[in-house]
Amino acid sequence: MTHQAPAHNRGQHIRAGLLLALRLLAIVGGGYFLSAALVALGAAGLAGLGMARSEAVILMTMLGFVLYLLVLIWGFAERSLPRLLAVTLAGTAMGQTLVHWLSV
């Protein structure tokens, strides 16, 4: 004989699964875009400070792996999903805006 969980437990499990999927999407996808924005911003900033553009891009590309790792670790440690979403979205938007502003 199989035991089925009550309907309210199934609803809670589905909601918890959706929140976990959203958190993973925010961490992996949002973290990628955030670290890409920071890499682009760092490369533009270093090039603006006088470093050769190719060297700035290579340096920031290598540091991008570390940045992405740090964002992933922070994302899994962050308890608040709204804060996680706000930081990844706002950080990406601000980073890309500054890159555009520096490159004009």
Helices 81-103 and 31-48, packing angle to 10 deg: 30
The per-residue pLDDT of the chain, averaged, comes to 90
Categorize the per-residue pLDDT at 7 as very low, low, confident or very high, splitting at 50, 70 and 90: low
Q: Can you say whether residue 58 is alpha, beta or left, with left for phi > 0 and alpha for psi between -120 and 50 degrees? A: alpha
Axis-axis angle for helices 53-77, 31-48 (nearest 10): 150
pTM of the model: 0.82
Q: What is the pLDDT of residue 5?
A: 59
d(CA 87, CA 102): 22
